[in-house]
Amino acid sequence: MLGRRDRSLLAFISFWIVIAAGCWVGVIVVRALRISGGSASVSTAHAQPVHHARAHRVVALTLASIFSKRPPMLAGYDRRKLWTLVATGDVIPARTVNWKMVTSGDFLGPFRPTAAYLRTGDITLINLESPLISGCQPTYAETFTFCGDPRDVEGLKYAGVDTACMANNHIGNFGDQGIQETWDHLRAAGIGYCGLGKVDHKRIRGVVVAFLAYNSVGQRFDYALARSEIRAARKTASVVVVSVHWGKEYVALPDIAPGIADDDPVKVGHWIIDSGADLVIGNHPHHVQPVELYHGHLITYAHGNFVFDQMFDDPGGGGVKQGVVGTYTFYGTHLIAVRYRPVHIYDYWQPRWAGSAEAQQILSGMYQSSIVLARRERKS
């Protein structure tokens, strides 16, 4: 029979055996969880959603972000899904622009200072406001019948132009034959075209983009036709971009020109977005105009001039010699960042990047007019 001392010793030993056994079981359980992924699953449950959100977050555009002096923050986005659309103001290789190219034999001249930047776009878009036809006579004259030499397409190709929108009030100056010949020259240069019933499709980073174009200068905007064509394009493309020629010339805010451009650009722009478009690119006023965020989509009312021979001071403050090149950054199908780079036109044919003071003046005016337009639309 055990004495008191022996029983105490046995109890002490039993206690530590139980403790040791418990520790050993705990080690086994932890190891089992690690092998089965239990511990990793806990870690992933906290870390993976954060990574997933950073990689796929879509930040809503604001006027402040568009006109911020700081470049857009793209950290956290999957770079394989980012792509850019670069769009210019009016390109009119006619009159003095055409004369300078033909007489100098330099068909790249208008684009030399800006081509490297234009080529950075995954897709580069212009509004081509002049037919390119054989037999076009170079002239300095202030004619309103526009034409350009077929060799002018060399400049477009050099600038990396992918799509030329042709719905405007001058593309038909030489009739259907002039339009068809222009299409032929663009096609031979590997440049797509849109407008006049044509839709250009591009595929970039797995995203199909459809480009359409409409004119409401010298004719009325066909609301029903535009809605029908945009909805049809929506079935074949993930992103729909619409170029529009519209509005009153030489003014800082979109407006009608009675008897010339009777359709309100704001109403037309809203209609196009409501019809299913993702982005609207406006031109024709020969003056930089505001942007508008409408139902989460962007409307740029006018990029101003780009390649053109207007050099006078217009009532809006010299705007015909100025323009902006827009860079629209998409993440998959979402427009996430927009930047505008101002230009100044020199010697009747060549846009160059505006100096810092002038660039700030152009962007500030664009921003302020955007605020004015937003306030006006809120009151209407």
Residue 41: band (very low, low, confident or very high) from pLDDT cuts 50, 70, 90: very low
Are the C-beta atoms of 165 and 127 separated by less than 8 Å?
yes
Decide if domain 63-379 falls under CATH 3.60.21.10: yes
Q: What pLDDT score was predicted for residue 292?
A: 98
**Collapsing DSSP states into helix, strand and coil, what is residue 112?**
coil
Query: Hey, what amino acid is at 380?
Result: S
Strands 322-331 and 82-91: antiparallel
Residue with tokens 């086994």: 28
* More reliable by pLDDT, 219 or 13: 219
274 pLDDT more than 50? yes
Q: Is 159:124 a contact under the CB 8 Å cutoff?
A: yes
Q: Which residues contact 240 (CB under 8 A, 6 or more apart)?
A: 209, 210, 212, 230, 233, 234, 276, 277, 278, 279
Q: What is the pLDDT of residues 123-176, one digit of tens each?
A: 999 999 999 999 999 988 788 899 999 999 999 999 999 999 999 999 999 999
Find the farthest-apart pair of alpha carbons in the chain and give their distance in angstroms, rounded: 129
For the chain, the domains span 4-56, 63-379
pLDDT value for 1: 47
| Of 27-36, 224-233, 240-249, the least confident | 27-36
Predicted local distance difference test score (pLDDT) of residue 141: 72
Task: Enter the pTM of the model.
Answer: 0.84
Spell out the SS3 assignment of the chain: CCCHHHHHHHHHHHHHHHHHHHHHHHHHHHHHHHHHCHHHHHHHHHHHHHHHHHHHCCCCCCHHHHCCCCCCCCCCCCHHHEEEEEEEEEECCCHHHHHHHHHHCCCCHHHCCCHHHHCCCCEEEEEECCCECCCCCCCCCCCCCCCECHHHHHHHHHCCCCEEECCCCCCCCCHHHHHHHHHHHHHHCCCEEEECCECEEEEECCEEEEEEEEECCCCCCCHHHHHHHHHHHHCCCCEEEEEEECCCCCCCCCCCECCCECCCHHHHHHHHHHCCCCEEEEECCCCECCEEEECCEEEECCEEEEECCCCCCCCCCCHHHEEEEEEEEEECCEEEEEEEEEEEEECCCEEEECCHHHHHHHHHHHHHHHHHHHHHHHHC
Tokens of 41: 């699953």
